[in-house]
Amino acid sequence: MPTVLGFEGSANKVGVGVVRDGVVLANPRRTYITPPGTGFLPSDTARHHRAVILDLLQEALTESGLTYQDIDCIAYTKGPGMGAPLASVAIVARTVAQLWDKPLVGVNHCIGHIEMGRLITGATSPTVLYVSGGNTQVIAYSKRRYRIFGETIDIAVGNCLDRFARVLKISNDPSPGYNIEQMAKRGKKLVELPYTVKGMDVSFSGILSFIEDVAKRMLVSGECTPEDLCFSLQETVFAMLVEITERAMAHCGSEEALIVGGVGCNLRLQEMMETMCQERGAKLFATDERFCIDNGAMIAQAGWEMFRTGHRTPLSDSGIRQRYRTDEVEVTWRD
């Protein structure tokens, strides 16, 4: 019964989770929230993570009722993500592994999301839509790899939403995406925006520039409201995501879809995906904010799968990688 402790801190969330054989024993998390109109800079985010990570470690142990002797492996996010936050957390993971004399496993963050989603929902072999502030990918498993069927060719969908929230000076608390979702519910007018699906890939940077320009003109003239723009942006970018996910499902003959990543807790996105899945006789799986937003347990869970199938990360290779693609990891724990 291996017990794995996982550290996550690739963006503005930092978390420490404990997983034992499919059971999440603890999963405390903190979010670095900046004032409206601003994003989070790597160095400030790393400072935030450094300030809270030892408290989180203590909380995770207390909450799980375990001591360090009960931990069999330390997992940490190797990448992808922002350099300084990743490094601030990797240093703690590496240090704890040495102090406690435990093996270390570096985890691909995207695979953490997938394994957490599979664990929580019970989806067995889903086509995965991974959508967050830093990532946008459609992924399916085949022959010992999580293969990327489609992805953004520029910014992530969550980054598009976050940056639009900054234009409107929407609060970043609890997250810009959550606040856009609430405002979108009150939107009435659909403003036409570019729809940029390119084969299996999507692009969001042009849509962002376009809607920034629309906001300047139409909000001033009173032609639409901020709520209308939130609604229009969500409807457009989510439709693009549903389209490429459906195409991947058709290609794979997949009867399951799983949404993971921070944008995955958006209920409008879940509703649109549900409609698509129902129409093709497939089943949709999704989780709530505890598990789809970055957290330590997802790294512990992927680390648990890796640990039990023999993965170990030597200290000499225990650094971080800002770019680390989902399909680089050999998946040793499925079929």
Catalog residues that contact Mg ion under the rule CB under 5 A: 132, 294
Give the CB-nearest residue to Mg ion: 132
Residue 197 CB contacts under 8 Å (≥ 6 apart), including other chains: 240, 243, 244
Of 130 and 231, CB closest to Mg ion:
130
Of 132 and 137, CB closest to Mg ion:
132
Query: What's the min distance (Å) between Cβ of 261 and Mg ion?
Result: 5
State the Cα–Cα distance between residues 6 and 105, nearest whole angstrom: 9
Query: What's the min distance (Å) between Cβ of 187 and Mg ion?
Result: 27
Residue 86's alpha-carbon distances to 52, 196, 202, in angstroms, are 14, 31, 27
Query: What's the min distance (Å) between Cβ of 155 and Mg ion?
Result: 14
Judge contact between 244 and 198, C-beta under 8 A.
no
Of 211 and 265, CB closest to Mg ion:
265
- Annotate 81-117 with three-state secondary structure: CCHHHHHHHHHHHHHHHHHHCCCEEEEEHHHHHHHHH
Tell how strand 283-286 and strand 29-31 pair up.
unpaired
Amino acid at 255: E
How many CB atoms neighbour CB 333 within 10 A? Answer: 16
Q: Decide: helix, strand or coil at residue 73.
A: strand
Of 82 and 230, CB closest to Mg ion:
82
Query: What's the min distance (Å) between Cβ of 156 and Mg ion?
Result: 9
Of 15 and 187, CB closest to Mg ion:
15
Query: What's the min distance (Å) between Cβ of 190 and Mg ion?
Result: 29
Query: What's the min distance (Å) between Cβ of 105 and Mg ion?
Result: 18
Judge contact between 6 and 16, C-beta under 8 A.
yes
Alpha helices, H only, the chain: 42-64, 83-100, 109-121, 157-167, 176-184, 205-221, 226-252, 267-279, 289-292, 296-308
Using omega within 30 degrees of 0 as the cis cutoff, is the peptide bond preceding 126 cis? no
Of 225 and 270, CB closest to Mg ion:
270
Of 256 and 294, CB closest to Mg ion:
294
Residue 104's alpha-carbon distances to 85, 98, 155, in angstroms, are 19, 9, 32
Query: What's the min distance (Å) between Cβ of 129 and Mg ion?
Result: 13
